[in-house]
Structure 1
């Protein structure tokens, strides 16, 4: 019984280790701030492949691909 449980746990751990991870999510934009998140193709951050824009009124616009390589800017609303 214990061997079956250990075997099942080992198989499950192996499956989870092989699955690809999800890309990083955009950082939450605080209330009364305008935020822009840029997504880059790799860690050199030279090629933008996507973006998320959030303005002071709650409007959100995004395009492209989300990746783990991001830059995030915040500007307070007036």
Structure 2
């Protein structure tokens, strides 16, 4: 009984830690769309630290670093 309670507590803490410490992820660019993901240094979104562009042909161009603070834009081809 105590083992089950201890195991449940450990799993619950692990789940909470995983949810609260995970970084934001940009969603995948849909087929037939051109997409841009802009990465910022912090939540104020004033300093760009990286970008990722995906064109209609599927070519990808990236520079800088990825962060948990991002904006995602897409437009149909």
TM bracket, shorter-chain basis: 0.7 to 0.9
Larger helix share, 1 or 2: 2
Q: TM-score, normalised by structure 2?
A: 0.77
What's the offset of the Cα at 1:38?
0.2
CA RMSD of aligned residues (A): 2.0
The structure having more radius of gyration, on CA atoms, is 1
* Partner deviation per Cα, 1:3-62 (whole Å, 9 max, x = no partner): 211112112322443456332221221222111110111121101112111001101122
Q: TM-score, normalised by structure 1?
A: 0.76
Q: Which runs of 5+ in 2 are unaligned?
A: none
